[in-house]
Amino acid sequence: MRPILFLDSGIGSLPYGIFFHSRNPGERLICAADRANFPYGPKSRETLMELLSSLTEKLISLYDPKILGIVCNTATVSALAVLRERFPDIPIVGTVPAIKPAVLASKKRCIGVLGTQRTIDDPYITELALQYGPDCAITGEAAPDLVEFVEHHWADADTEERLEAVKPWVKRILSKGADALVLACTHFLLLKDEFQSAGGSELRIFDSVEGISRRVESLLDSRGIRSPGEEQPLSLAITGEGTLEGYWEKLAAHFKIALERI
C-alpha cells in the first residue's frame, strides 16, 4: 500500500499525523523527522531548498508516497514552490500558518504569531494578514529555544515543566495587546494545551492541523486514491546516523507508533 508521508524537521509532524490518522485509519501514514538537519529555523532559504529537495527525492525513492505533506511552516515558506516544480508527479501539501481564522476572530484586531526565525521573517505572514485583515496588527515572535525544548525535552517533561516553558511567550504576546495566537511552528502543537491554559480566556489559540487534514482528504477523494479498509499503522521515520537518543523511544511508546530509520 502506498503511504501518505508527512515531513517535518523533527517531531512536529506527529500532531498532524496523529490527527489525520484518527480520521483516516485506513491510510498508511509515515511521519518523517529530519533529525539529521534539525533545526530548520536558522538555515537560509537556499540551504533549505537544497536539503529538502535531496530529502524529498530520497523519501520518494524509499516509499513512493501518494501524497506528501510538508507539515513544517519553515520548510513550506522556504521550499514548497521548488519541491512542487521538481516533483510534479506527486501532490505536495504545504502548511500555512492559521493567520486567516485568527485575524477573523480577533476582537482587539491584534494577533500574535509564534514560530521559527525563518517563518517569522518571511513576508508571507504579512501578506496573509493584509489579505484577510488589513486593519489587524501582527506581532511576530521567533522562539527557537521553545522549538529545541519540544524536540529534545518534551518527552521527558511533565505538565508543569511544559507549562513553564510557554508562560513567558504567552505573557509577551498578551503584553502586545493580542487576543489570538497563531502557532506557526508545528512543534508548538505539542504544547497547545499548555498555551491555552496559560492564556486562559484572554487568548485564543489557532493552528493548521485540521486544515491540513482536510486538504489531504480532498486530494485523496478527488484523485480516487483513498485506501478504505482495515486500520493501518502509523510510523515515525527518523533521519540521521548514530544511536538514537532515548527520547525517541519514549515518543514512540507515548503515541504507540513504530520507529524506523532512514
Domain boundary among 162, 187, 206: 206
Provide the mean pLDDT of the chain: 95
Query: Which CATH number characterizes residue 18's domain?
Result: 3.40.50.1860
Which residues of the chain fall short of a pLDDT of 70? Answer: none
CB 28 within 8 A of CB 55: no
pLDDT in tens, 221-245: 999 999 988 999 899 999 999 999 9
* Residues of the chain by 3-state class (helix, strand, coil), percent to 5: 50, 15, 30
User: Residues 202, 103: one domain?
Assistant: yes
Predicted pLDDT at 196: 97
User: Residues 251, 193: one domain?
Assistant: no
User: Residues 179, 213: one domain?
Assistant: no
User: Residues 184, 140: one domain?
Assistant: yes
User: Residues 117, 191: one domain?
Assistant: yes
Task: State the cell numbers at 213.
Answer: 487534514
Residues that are catalytic: 72, 185
CA-wise closest residue to 74 among 232, 184, 160 = 184
Task: State the cell numbers at 4.
Answer: 501518505
User: Residues 28, 88: one domain?
Assistant: yes
How many helices (H) and strands (E) the chain has is answered by: 11, 10
CB 259 within 8 A of CB 248: yes
Which residue range(s) make up the domain with 169?
Answer: 99-206
In whole angstroms, what is the distance from residue 73 CA to residue 79 CA? Answer: 10
Domain boundary among 185, 206, 227: 206
CB 56 within 8 A of CB 103: no
User: Residues 73, 123: one domain?
Assistant: no
What's the total number of domains in the chain?
2
User: Residues 145, 202: one domain?
Assistant: yes
CB atoms within 10 A of CB 106: 20
In whole angstroms, what is the distance from residue 155 CA to residue 150 CA? Answer: 8
Predicted pLDDT at 219: 98
Predicted pLDDT at 113: 96
User: Residues 159, 246: one domain?
Assistant: no
CA-wise closest residue to 73 among 237, 222, 183 = 183
> Model-level pTM greater than 0.85?
yes
In whole angstroms, what is the distance from residue 150 CA to residue 191 CA? Answer: 8
Predicted pLDDT at 111: 96
CB atoms within 10 A of CB 154: 20
User: Residues 123, 246: one domain?
Assistant: no
User: Residues 137, 81: one domain?
Assistant: no
User: Residues 164, 202: one domain?
Assistant: yes
Provide the angle, in degrees to the nearest 10, between the axes of the packed helices 73-86 and 45-63: 60
Helix residue ranges per DSSP H, the chain: 13-23, 45-63, 73-86, 99-105, 117-121, 123-132, 144-153, 159-175, 192-199, 209-222, 246-255
Domain boundary among 206, 227, 247: 206
